[in-house]
Amino acid sequence: MTPPETPMPPESPQDLSGYLDACATSPPTEGVIRVMAAAQRSAWANPSSLHGFGLRASELLERSRGRLAELLGASQHDLIFCSGASEAIHLALLGQAGMVPPGRLVISPVEHPATIAAAETLLRQGWAVARLPVDHRGVIDLVALHELLEPPTRLVSLIWGQSEVGTIQPLESVSRLCRSAGIPLHVDAVQVVGHRLVDADALGVDLLSCTAHKLGGPRGIGLLLRRRGLGLLPLIGGAQEGGLRGGTEAVVLAAGFVQALEEAYERLRSLGGLDPLAALRDPLLTRLLELPGVSLSGPAPEDREGRLPHHSRLPHHISLVVTSATGVPLPGRELVRGLWRQGLAVSSGSACSAIASPASRGGGSAVLRALGYPESHCTSGLRISLGPWLCPADLERVPGALEQARRDLETSAPGH
């Protein structure tokens, strides 16, 4: 059977009813586009220039910095603009490691590829790297963390919200343990910022990285919050960003970042800090789990009483493992293609992992492997992640489309 022709992306940027890949990136909101257009017209100059054009750009840059710090509860932190979260993560880990003698970095086995890459760089520089065990939901072992907060550990880095299986780590407990031991803690908050109210000072984190494009802002800008007084060795020399990140600052992108976070916080505050996307996600998840061969990976949503638990799932996130009706694992990447033929954009694993070579992927998802899935199932993950551009009617066709994609794969499998 000849598969249907793959549809092209919709011509209108407003037709986003089939875009279900918010964890990879999100479309810029209309408000963000307007703010950036205005900034491009009025604050296009180099903010380091001393004339009036430069001063106007510098003023907008510093207003943006101050507002982002305020929104993120970072009164005791410095905010450093970077090109994105991957650079921010490298600056956090390599920058802090460069200030102390080699020791041990503690991470989890479910970190983002940027953290893994930074850890591999530290290994080459004489550091040791320890990986905390996680349970079948992807939640770290706090007892193991406590035992590892002894010499030679000098730094802990943890992903707060896991992009592939949706796990939210017990960050408050992690932070308390690290503070008691005097060990700096870096938090990768990329998937969390915009989906819950963040107070960096109250959390007690030393370093926190995030990016704009996951919450309706522009690509090309991220930030690192650094606890004031914590030393960092710059990775890119230059006088900008307090000498910690050289290069002409992206004033227009910073303004867009502010607008995106303002809009996200407005949605959160309308429900007392809860993400309204959970109300979209939960009915869809229930319907998907009724399909044959479809099971949930990562933690089940637990926010049943209006409270965010310590161990929970990102509110806009669904992750599945898909098999045939007879239990044979189906390739997630082929399911992604099959769903796109029906006009739905989803993913299999994180976007940054998807572009890695097959050899570096080890034949499947390292995250699912860490959760204890058999090797045969580690290529069968599917991720659906929702954004505020969606409504319940947009999701009505998703279960049927997944069932069709699953059936098509079964039909085309060798020996069928």
Please check whether residue 9 lies inside any domain of the structure.
Answer: no
Looking at the structure, do residues 107 and 187 belong to the same domain, yes or no? yes
Which parts of 70-221 are beta strand (E)? Answer: 77-82, 104-107, 128-131, 153-159, 167-168, 185-188, 207-211
Structure tokens given for 382: 């599917």
Both 41 and 183 in one domain: the answer is yes
**Same domain, residue pair 303 and 230:** no
DSSP class of residue 150? S
For 267, the token pair is 């949605």
Q: What is the DSSP letter of 136?
A: T
Name the residue among 49, 16, 38, 2 with its Cα closest to residue 248.
49
Report if residue 293 sits inside a domain: yes
Whether residue 237 is found in the same domain as residue 329: no
> Do 263 and 307 share a structural domain?
no
pLDDT at 15: 87
- Structural domain includes residue 318: yes
Asked, for residue 387, whether it belongs to a domain, the answer is yes
Tell how strand 317-322 and strand 294-296 pair up.
antiparallel
Residue 241, domain CATH: 3.40.640.10
Structure tokens at 294: 């479809």
Whether residues 318 and 358 fall in one domain: yes
Task: Convert the pLDDT of each residue in 398-410 to its tens digit.
Answer: 999 999 999 999 8
Q: Which amino acid is at 279?
A: A
Do 248 and 364 fall into the same domain?
no
Please tell me whether residues 226 and 207 are part of one structural domain.
yes
Q: Which of 267, 288, 317 is the last residue of a domain?
A: 267
Please identify every residue annotated as catalytic: 352
Structural domains of the chain, count: 2
Q: Tell me, yes or no, whether 203 and 337 share the same domain.
A: no
pLDDT one-digit tens code per residue, 283-333: 999 999 999 999 999 999 874 434 444 458 999 999 999 999 889 999 999
Retrieve residue 160's tokens.
Answer: 């707060």
Cα 309 to Cα 332: distance, rounded to the nearest angstrom: 30
| 1 within some domain | no
Q: Using only the alpha carbons of the chain, give its radius of gyration.
A: 22
Helix (H) or strand (E) holding 227: strand 222-227
| Residue where one domain finishes, among candidates 246, 267, 288 | 267
Give the integer Cα–Cα distance in Å for 378 and 363: 8
What angle do helix axes 398-412 and 277-288 make, rounded to 10 degrees? 40
- Residues 185 and 288 placed together within one structural domain of the fold: no
234, 267, 300 - which closes a domain: 267
The conformation of residue 387, written as its DSSP 8-state character, comes to -
Instruction: Mark whether 204 and 281 lie in a shared domain.
Output: no
Residue 395 in any domain: the answer is yes
Question: Which residues in the chain come in under a pLDDT of 50?
Answer: 1-4, 10-11, 303-310, 355-361, 415-416
Q: Where are the alpha helices (DSSP H) in 290-376?
A: 332-340, 351-354, 358-361, 366-370
Q: Would 22 be classed as within a structural domain?
A: no
Q: Examine the domain organization and report whether 301 and 399 are in the same domain.
A: yes
Is residue 112 a part of any domain in this protein? Answer: yes
* Residue 310 belongs to domain with CATH number: 3.90.1150.10
Domain range enclosing 383: 277-412
